[in-house]
Structure 1
Amino acid sequence: MKWARARASDQTEIVGVVADNMLHPRAALGSEASAGEPVALSDVSLLPPVVPGKFFGLWNNFKAAAEKAGNEHPSHPLYFFKADTSLAGHGDEVELPASAGRVIFEGELGIVIGQQCKNASPEEAEQAIFGYTCINDFTSLDILNADPSFPQWTRSKSFDGFGVVGPMIETDLAWQEATITVLVNGRERQSYPASDMILPPAEIVRLLSQDMTLNPGDLIACGTSLGARPVKAGMEVEVVIDGIGGVSVTLTAATDA
């Protein structure tokens, strides 16, 4: 089942189930209660399908990338947070600030939490996963490594629009069979199997729940693999995962203050 969040022509926001190119409004994400008549997808603008309370990003969670870099496989997620204001959705324009310098894309599989969990068992962690979405974790390499005494993970990944999410949430995805692909101006630039993950989704959720309570709507980017590349203004960057769809944004140059 696919879930989406959208803005109607009257500027109201709708959350609901997508079927037959129609958005069927629901009272809330995951709710079975109807909240109105179906609306054609062509008549709405898609928004990020979830507004996370916590937006996690994982590092070093794919075997191929870890082996190329000579990194050990982590036994616990190595993570950072992205600001809530970094959120962007399908069709948005993302401004590249001059201060960001070199920026790379990172296509990733995203986990959406559906129920609160703390110190979850493996079974509880699996049940806490509402579904999966596409994420583009844009990163400023220049800022990340600017100060040798302190890698600036949060700053480098939290510029407005640097957390692209969408276009929908798929609740029935067989993630082990998924491939994460990134297209830049329509040309494939990154492609890798989700099955190469070091820590799989349920284990990520279980371990994170040992650190802090996970709440409905929290979002976890599972990390990226080989192939992340620099991008610049004027480029269209799309992350595609079969079974979910593709989330695309256009990069723009910084405007004068």
Structure 2
Amino acid sequence: MKWARVRNSDETESTGLVMDGMFHPRSSLGSDTASGDPIALADVTLLSPVVPGKFIGLWNNFKAAAEKGGQDHPTHPLYFFKADTSLAGPGAEVAIPVSAGRVVFEGELGIVLGNTCKNVSVAEAEAAIFGYTCINDFTSLDVLNADPSFPQWTRAKSFDGFGVVGPVIETEVAWQDLTITVLVNDRERQSYPANDMILPPAQIVSLLSQDMTLNPGDLIACGTSLGARPVKAGMVVDVAIDGIGSVSVTMTAPVET
């Protein structure tokens, strides 16, 4: 089942199911209760399918990238947070701030939580995963490495629009079978299998729940692999995962003030 969040023609926002070219409003994410009549997808605007309380990203979670970089495999997620204002959805324009310098795309698989998790087992974590989505975790390399005494993960990841999510949350997909692909101006630039993960989704959730309480709607980006590249204004960047869909944004120059 594919869940989406949309903006309606009257500027209100709704959450619901996408089926047969129609959007079926529901009272909340995962609810069976209808909250309106079905609407043609052409008559709504897709937004990020979830507004997370916590937007967590992982580093060094794919074997191929770790081996190329000479890094050990982590036994606990190496994670950072992205600001809530970094969230962007399908079709957004993402400005590259002057202060960001070099910016790279990172196509990733995203986990959306459906239940509260605190100190849960791997089996309990598996049951708590609501579904999966596509993420583009933009990163400012210049900001990240600007101060040798303190890698600035949060700042580098949190510029407005640097957390692209969508187009839907798919609840019926086997993550092991997925391939994450990034197209830049319709040219494939990144493609890697999800099953190359070092820490798989349920283990990620279980281990993070030892550090903090995870809540319904929290979003975890599973990390990226080889192939991340710089982007420039004018480029269209599309993260696609068969079985989920694709989320595309256009990079723009900073707005003059």
Q: Distance in 2 between matches of 1:133 and 1:255?
A: 29
Q: Distance in 1 between matches of 2:222 and 2:255?
A: 32
Give the equivalent residue in structure 2 for 1:73: 73
Give the equivalent residue in structure 1 for 2:64: 64
Specify the SS of the correspondent of 1:181.
strand
Q: Distance in 1 between matches of 2:73 and 2:211?
A: 19
Q: Distance in 2 between matches of 1:122 and 1:99?
A: 41
Give the equivalent residue in structure 2 for 1:98: 98
1:219 aligns with 2:242: no
How far is the alpha carbon of 1:115 from its aligned partner? Answer: 0.5
Give 4+ residue runs of structure 1 displaced > 4 Å after superposition: none
1:193 aligns with 2:193: yes
In structure 2, stretches of 5+ residues that fail to align are none
Deviations 1:20-43 (A, max 9, x none): 010100000011111010001110
Specify the SS of the correspondent of 1:76.
coil
Deviations 1:3-25 (A, max 9, x none): 00000111011100110010100
Q: Distance in 2 between matches of 1:210 and 1:48?
A: 28
The count of corresponding residues between Structure 1 and Structure 2 is 257
Give the equivalent residue in structure 2 for 1:178: 178
Deviations 1:132-161 (A, max 9, x none): 000000000000000000000000000000
Give the equivalent residue in structure 1 for 2:55: 55
| CA RMSD of superposed structures (Å) | 0.4
Q: Distance in 1 between matches of 2:255 and 2:34?
A: 42
- TM-score, normalised to structure 1, is 1.00
Give the equivalent residue in structure 2 for 1:229: 229
In structure 1, stretches of 5+ residues that fail to align are none
- TM-score, normalised to structure 2, is 1.00
Q: Distance in 2 between matches of 1:40 and 1:5?
A: 14
Give the equivalent residue in structure 2 for 1:11: 11
Give the equivalent residue in structure 2 for 1:139: 139
Q: Distance in 1 between matches of 2:255 and 2:224?
A: 30
Percent sequence identity over aligned pairs = 77
Specify the SS of the correspondent of 1:166.
strand
Superposition pairs of residues 138-177 of structure 1, within 5 angstroms:
138-177=138-177
Give the equivalent residue in structure 2 for 1:207: 207
Q: Distance in 2 between matches of 1:185 and 1:45?
A: 22
Specify the SS of the correspondent of 2:224.
coil
